[in-house]
Each structure stands twice: as structure tokens, then as C-alpha cells.
Structure 1
Amino acid sequence: MVPDQENVGSLLDKIAEYRTGVGMKYLEEAVRRVLEKGEFPAKGLMQLYGEIGAPDGVSDRTVSRAIAKSVKQILEYGKLQVLLNRIGMNDVTPGDVIFLLANYLAGGTIKLR
């Protein structure tokens, strides 16, 4: 069973201090797309970002920067750092966060591609 958009949003609500801005929207969409595909595009992340930005007419780089800013905000002010410390991760990338959130919601079944 693939979690729906509401579950992704609920998880972000729980870990983010503030869930505003386009970066959070893009982060939510990235997690949702990884869940739909059942795999994380480790080497095709910019392509995923391009797909996410296309409806808004923005580049993959714009999506990447917006997601990175939101991930930084979550790491600094949210509750994700507690989870990362628990599993022994210190330096994480936005891609790591997308994978971790999707994998968590999928019960550990997301494959790396």
C-alpha cells in the first residue's frame, strides 16, 4: 500500500517546526513520487526535481535549492534531528531526507536505484 499525500503531509507536519513555503511543497511532492515509484533515484535526483518543477515552470536547480532550504530548516528547528541522531546520521543531504521519509512511510521497502 502506498501512503497517500495526506500521510506525507502529516509526517512533515510532525517533524517540521514550520511547514510553509514552496520548498516544503516540493519536498512533499518528492517524497510522494518516491513512494509512488517504490524506489529512490539516487543518480537521477535532478531529473525528479525537474519533473516536480515542470508544472510551475521552474528549473530542477530551483526545486533543488528550495528543497535544500526546507531541509536545512527542518534540521535546525524541527524534530528530524532526533531521529537522525537515533540512527547515527550526522551530515545528511536533502536526498537523504527524501529517502528516509519515503522509506519510513513505506515501512522500509523503498529501493535505491
Structure 2
Amino acid sequence: MLLLILSIPVLAHSPSQVLLAYDNTNQTLNATVTHTSTNPSHYVREVVVQKNGDDVLRKEYANQTAANTFSYYYQINATAGDILKATAYCSISGSRSAQIKVQ
């Protein structure tokens, strides 16, 4: 049992990449997350979106839609110059963030 407990942190990892794109016409933020896991209990559990440093969306998930790379779409009202940041949190350990400036 001790071996299993010591192995869990080694197997856990944060998302390896978050890529963002913003669609001005539809006011939609596309967050593409890479988090490789085939273990159902190891997934992206939450994504938090900030606009200009303020939380504007917090979405929790019970699983991830693919074992490697997947996309989430969020309705976020933004104008040119706004900074959008998305942080994806692993259900076990770690997180990864990305940000873009709306054009």
C-alpha cells in the first residue's frame, strides 16, 4: 500500500498545454487543452477564465472529453485590448494557463 501512495504523485501531471483563440464575431473563447490521461480519475476538473485579471467564468468537469487534446468553448464578452486568461486544473495535481490579448 505504501508503494501505491508514493506512486500517485509520479503518475499525476498538470495539463501540458493550453492554447487560446478568441472569435470576436461570436464572442467565444476557444480553450484547447492537452492533458494526456487514460485514467478516469485523472482529468481536467476545472477551467477558470479571467478577463483583465477578474474571474468571469468557472466551469467544473467530471471527466475530460478525450484522452489527450480537447477543446472547450466559452461565451465571453470582450473588446479589443482585453486580456483573457484561462487556467486548466488537473483533478490530481497542477495546472496550466495561457492568455491572449483580444484584437
Query: By the TM > 0.5 criterion, same fold?
Result: no
TM-score by length of 2: 0.26
Q: Which has the higher strand share?
A: 2
TM-score by length of 1: 0.25
Q: Which has the higher helix share?
A: 1
Which protein shows a greater Rg?
2
Q: Which of 1 and 2 has higher RCO (CA within 8 Å, sep 6+)?
A: 1
